Amino acid sequence: MWRDSPPWPRPGGSSEVSPADRYTFSGASTTTGTGGPALQPVKPTITGFSESSSRWRRGHSLPHISSAGGAPVGTTFSFGLNEPAAVTLTFSQRVPGRRVSGRCVAPGHSNAGRPRCKRTLVAGSFVAPGHAGLDRASFQGRLPGSKTLKPGSYLVSLTARDARGQKIVSRSLSFTIVS
């Protein structure tokens, strides 16, 4: 029931105390339970990104035992995930270039006299489903689409993207494919 005259609350004022005044209100709650502040989604986490060998020979997709000495065939990339995520392994290579207008570009006849530089080219990548816990990816230099990495030095980085679209990128590892 509305009253036409005070004592209702006025801006910056207060009303008379009555039996209906049973609650005290304070600042924002810091609890994280139901009704508390919204929780931020947790990004996927990559742990222990490593490789079994940083110097190896290119091989075929089928694993085999080799009695030959020297570098092993292929490597195994190992990593841990805190939740299932789509995993992308991206392979890049540092290649020579020429500095033109502040950028490192492919060398050519028109820029032969320009200063030398190193540029990073993506050689390829592949995507696979990652599982929560320890994951391993055997790799012998062959990428989807019949692409094969040539002998040389490479960097590999690991990206994990969860179902919510959150992503994280690992530190890079280096490896060399020998002839």
Letter string b/e over residues 43-57, b meaning 16 or more CB atoms within 10 A of that residue's CB: bbebeebebeeeebb
Look at strands 173-178 and 55-57 and give their pairing. Answer: parallel
Residues of the chain with pLDDT under 70: 1-41, 60-70
pLDDT value of residue 65: 37
| Domain span at 71 | 46-178
Domain contains 147: yes
Surface-to-core class of residue 141, CB atoms within 10 Å of its CB (0-12 exposed, 13-18 middle, 19+ buried)? buried
| Spatial separation of the C-alpha atoms in residues 172 and 90, rounded to whole Å | 9
Domain contains 167: yes
Number of domains in the chain: 1
Q: What is the CATH number of the domain that holds 60?
A: 2.60.40.2550
pLDDT value of residue 63: 39
pLDDT value of residue 109: 93
Domain contains 21: no
Domain contains 36: no
